[in-house]
Amino acid sequence: MKIAVIGQSLFGQEVYKELVKEGHQIVGVFTIPDKDGKADPLATEAEKDGVPVFKFPRWRLKGKAIPEVVDQYKAVGAELNVMPFCSQFIPMEVIDFPKHGSIIYHPSLLPRHRGASAINWTLIHGDKKGGFTLFWADDGLDTGPILLQRECNVEPNDTVNTIYNRFLFPEGVKGTVEAVRLIEQGQAPRITQPEDGATYEGIQKKENAKINWDQPAEVLHNWIRGNDKVPGAWAEVDGQKVTFYGSSMMDTTTVPDGQSLEIPGASKPGLVTKNGLVLFGNDGKMLLVKNLQFDDGKMIAASQYFHSGDSASVELTDQEKRFAEELRAIWKGILTNVDVIEHSTDFFKSGAASMDVVRLVEEVKLKGAGLQIQNEDVYMATTFQEFVQMLVRKLRGEDAEGELQVDYVEMNVNNMTVKMPHQLFINGQFVDAEGGKTYQTINPTDGTAICNVSLAQVSDVDKAVAAAKEAFENGEWGKMNARDRGRLIYRLADLMEENQEELATIEAIDSGAVYTLALKTHVGMSIQTFRYFAGWCDKIQGSTIPINQARPNRNLTFTRREPIGVCGIVIPWNYPLMMLAWKAAACLAAGNTVVLKPAQVTPLTAIKFAELTARAGFPRGVINILPGAGSLVGQRLSDHPDVRKIGFTGSTPIGKQIMKSCAVSNVKKVSLELGGKSPLIIFSDCDMDKAVRMGMSSVFFNKGENCIAAGRLFVEESIHDAFVRRVVEEVKKMKIGDPLDRSTDHGPQNHKAHLEKLIQYSQTGVKEGAHLVYGGKQVDRPGFFFEPTIFTNVEDHMYIAKEESFGPIMIISRFEDGDIDGVLKRANDTEFGLASGVFTKDINKALYVSEKLQAGTVFINTYNKTDVASPFGGFKQSGFGKDLGEEALNEYLKTKAVTIEY
């Protein structure tokens, strides 16, 4: 169809782009005039495509259409007018001209909230449902017939921004395009709007936004969030007009500590706390306000009400001074009436308006290496010096007092208070996911929710990759010498050690790891890994190579070992912190930057690790942590053209998909540690006590959630029955219980879905005819506990003989006495090749078997003995590439050959 787009803003721009993709001919774009020489985004996009753009200041004069304006519109020959966020009054001569008429997007469920402040009123009225409408324009005000509607839930702490970004914008664009599609197909309905339930509220104005304190807390919250950001709900405090921003309901009845603030008309004084200003409704319930703005335009964090002028100045580095001069030039370009931008120059007192705020924010984003800045930041730092100081602190990841800004979830557990960040970590800052999306992470000990964690979206991945790329190519990290890089990694390891009890506690409650094991292995080996690779930073070197000389000249050829760039790392849930360390330590030591996705079910130690990296002084953008779904975050990392390496630990099917995506996207380097079905061969000449002890460990270590767990034990016939009897005796002694109890041997499985998989796995083994000697079912208690399980008489064709359980299930098969080659053939009859083991006192037999076993790691008379200096990785469909040891560095380096003629 031939379409005229009449509207403005980023929303109008996105609708325009999608209509073009649909194959429609945009015959004209009608938008608002340029402001301060800057075109509306819709106009900019259309002009790039060579589409005629019209910027009429008005369409009507004294209530009548302007003939020359209408004539210019008609000349484009539109068959349909699409009006996304149209703020101008369009005359009926234009509305009715196209043969298909005109459709308008409106951000409410008409007939409710007709008028210009629909989103605000949705929140002010406390509506539980919101949404948008595409309707046929008529001569009323949002009264035309309905074509299409979509609704969404309004969350208790939604703001205009969150509901717009989460639903009204993205789904509104799709809905508008769908409406056009229905019109083209001749299937667009015209549903008359009912008057029943119709409401009309005018534009909210500042004078009408005063807060009436004699109301319940939820009503106060709705009023404040509904008026945020424009016009702003206000009240008299200390004799001046104060506007309140960033309201949220508090879900606790415990009144926090804070400094009392008298508020005329309120049922109780407010409380200035470290988290903001606590306000009370007449029902005694509480709400929290984050920011306050005064009559002169100055905005402060509500927590700083009594200390707003106390923060010390930051001493700028040379690089920060250069950045300050760039900011001065931006201010001068906006405040053209000011001759010189002094420290004391006030942005608003110098004549700046709201559009200037938008311009300032956008220009700072362009100059600030991915610096995230919002409009309210300008209002909170109105003088040039305050503005510079504020941005420098942001660049350093600090708040007004010089501290990293962290929104903790605190929990009193394990005789300590653990403080857990729960947001994404991008470019040195903790931030919410796009659209405020979150999910609950669950404590496997009792199945209860620990906290809400930010759920990364594709746009968050793009932001993190951009930050990592900037840090690598232009930031301090890319310029840092290797020894200083090592010093930073050592400092990080020291911080991890200082916080090891807290890290281990978080690991226990989020993954179910027994605390003592988490302290020793999950956290302890992580610290060792970072220390080991910190020592490698200044020892990465190439070599000189003798080549044929080009006589009469001579040549020097040498190799350089260089970092790859932005590396995506995707880790599993069984050792959340240790798997992070195994990959990230080598990656950072090589000089790369990292975007890491922890497992969705165990994100908390990775996010806590992010906090420690900031406190250790890692430059912004070097390390980014994105909890979220693998199908979205992991896939986007694999597909992203700016990611140059993927390191993945997980299942073989997902590894194959990642490998394919890495090839298709940009042939990025990839290393994979995938599934396993590791064989353990126990010969009759073994040390039986050690074989039983280590055999138990090979299967039940970390609840069996261990990538190298012995997936199948082959026990020589003459000792089979004795071995099984001894193992059963030992298993019966294992204490199953709370992982924080120091006497617990066996904690809960990681998550519910995995528990259910283990139950099904055991049921399959029984159906196939294997002998269930012990266990095989869920423990009768809250949480995701599964009994240590033992199967014997397992034959080679059985499902449980071939497939990995990844749980505490021991699979035992016999082999004939002396049949070494026979048992080797059976052990190697698998597509996996991660680890293996052999127990025998015969050194010749041990070496022969170790040579023939097709696995990346072979343990002899021991098991699970991994070390940071020893390379780790698999063969066949267990993947390729190495973690740990010097070889791990090769995964994160590229080799460049340089030849000089002299």
Domain match, 853 and 765 both: yes
Cα(875)–Cα(880) distance, integer angstroms: 6
565, part of any domain: yes
Q: Angle at Cα 85 formed by Cα 80 and Cα 87, nearest 5°?
A: 100
pLDDT the model gives residue 412: 94
Does residue 902 lie in a domain region? no
Mean pLDDT (whole number) for 41-53: 94
414 and 292 co-located in one domain: no
Query: Known catalytic residues?
Result: 106, 673, 707
805 appears as a binding residue in the annotation:
yes
pLDDT, tens digit, for every residue of 504-540?
A: 999 999 999 999 999 999 999 999 999 999 999 999 9
- Locate tokens 């010749």: which residue? 844
Of 322-331, 347-356, 654-663, which has the strongest mean pLDDT? Answer: 654-663
Whether 804 has a binding-site annotation, put simply, is: yes
Residue 577 lies in a domain: yes
Give residue 308's pLDDT band: very low, low, confident or very high (50, 70, 90).
Answer: low
- Same domain for 364 and 426? no
Average pLDDT, the chain: 93
Residue 628 CA to residue 494 CA, distance in Å, equals 28
Could you give the percent of the chain with pLDDT greater than 70? 97
Per-residue pLDDT, averaged over 869-881, amounts to 97
Say if residue 89 carries a ligand binding annotation: yes
- 364 known member of a binding site: no
Same domain as 343, residue 277? no
> Residue 10 and residue 565: Cα distance in Å, rounded?
32
pLDDT above 70: residue 714: yes
What pLDDT score was predicted for residue 350? 87
User: Same domain, yes or no, for 256 and 361?
Assistant: no
Mapping DSSP to helix (H, G, I), strand (E, B) and coil, where does residue 812 land? strand
The reply to whether 810 and 867 lie within a common domain is yes
CATH of the domain at 325: 1.10.1200.10
Chosen domain end from 162, 185, 208: 185
Give the chain's domain count: 5
| Contact partners, residue 797, CB within 8 Å, separation at least 6 | none
Confidence of residue 372 (pLDDT cuts 50, 70, 90): low
Specify the pLDDT at position 401. 46
Residue 871 in tokens: 């390379």
Instruction: Find out whether 70 and 96 touch, Cβ atoms under 8 Å.
Output: no
Domain hosting 344: range is 318-396
Which CATH number covers residue 454?
Answer: 3.40.605.10
The answer to whether residue 146 is domain-embedded is yes
Ligand-binding annotation for 533, yes or no, is no
**Residue 99 phi, psi (nearest 5):** -65, -25
- Asked if the structure places residue 510 within a domain, the reply is yes
Does 529 share its domain with 653? yes
Q: Give the gyration radius of the chain's Cα atoms.
A: 32
The predicted structure's pLDDT at residue 234: 95
Residue of 282, 274, 272 lying closest to 218 (CA atoms): 282
Give 226-281 pLDDT, tens digit per residue. 998 788 999 999 889 999 998 999 988 888 888 999 999 999 999 998 788 999 99
Question: Does 319 carry a binding-site annotation?
Answer: no
Does residue 590 share a domain with residue 539? yes
For residues 698 and 795, membership in a common domain is answered with yes
Beta bridge partners, 880, equal 672
Question: Residue 369 above 60 pLDDT?
Answer: no
Bigger pLDDT: 124 vs 307: 124
C-alpha dihedral sign at 369, 370, 371, 375: positive
Domain assignment present for 401: no
**Which tokens belong to 803?**
């497939």
Q: Determine the average pLDDT of the residues in 112-140.
A: 93
Q: Are residues 718 and 630 in the same domain?
A: no
**Maximal C-alpha separation, the chain:** 105
CATH code, domain carrying 711: 3.40.309.10
Residue 414 lies in a domain: yes
For residues 241 and 223, what is the distance between their CA atoms, to the nearest angstrom?
17
What mean pLDDT do residues 809-823 have? 98
- 679 labelled binding-site residue: no
Annotated binding-site residue? 573 = yes
In this prediction, residue 504 carries a pLDDT of 97
Give me the count of residues in the chain. Answer: 902
Q: Based on the domain organization, do 669 and 684 belong to the same domain?
A: no
Q: Is 527 annotated as a binding residue?
A: no
Residue 750: inside a domain, yes or no?
yes
Last-in-domain residue among 652, 674, 696 = 674
Check pLDDT > 70 for residue 311. Answer: no
Mean pLDDT of 669-689: 97
Instruction: Flag whether 757 is marked binding.
Output: yes
Among 307, 331, 353, give the residue marking a domain's end. 307
**Residue 282's domain is classified under what CATH number?**
3.10.25.10
Q: Is the pLDDT of residue 692 over 50?
A: yes
pTM: 0.62
Q: What is the mean pLDDT of residues 604-632?
A: 95
Mean predicted confidence (pLDDT) in 694-707 = 97
Q: Are 199 and 113 in contact (CB under 8 A)?
A: yes
> What distance in Å separates the CA atoms of residue 490 and residue 492, rounded to the nearest whole number?
5
Same domain, 707 and 615: no
Please tell me the distance from the alpha carbon of residue 11 to that of residue 134, in angstroms, as a whole number.
14
Query: Which band of pLDDT confidence, cut at 50, 70 and 90, is reported for residue 36?
Result: low
In this predicted model, which residue has the larger pLDDT, 595 or 325?
595
Residues 6+ apart with CB under 8 A from 345: 331, 335, 338, 383, 384
* CATH number of domain containing 125: 3.40.50.170
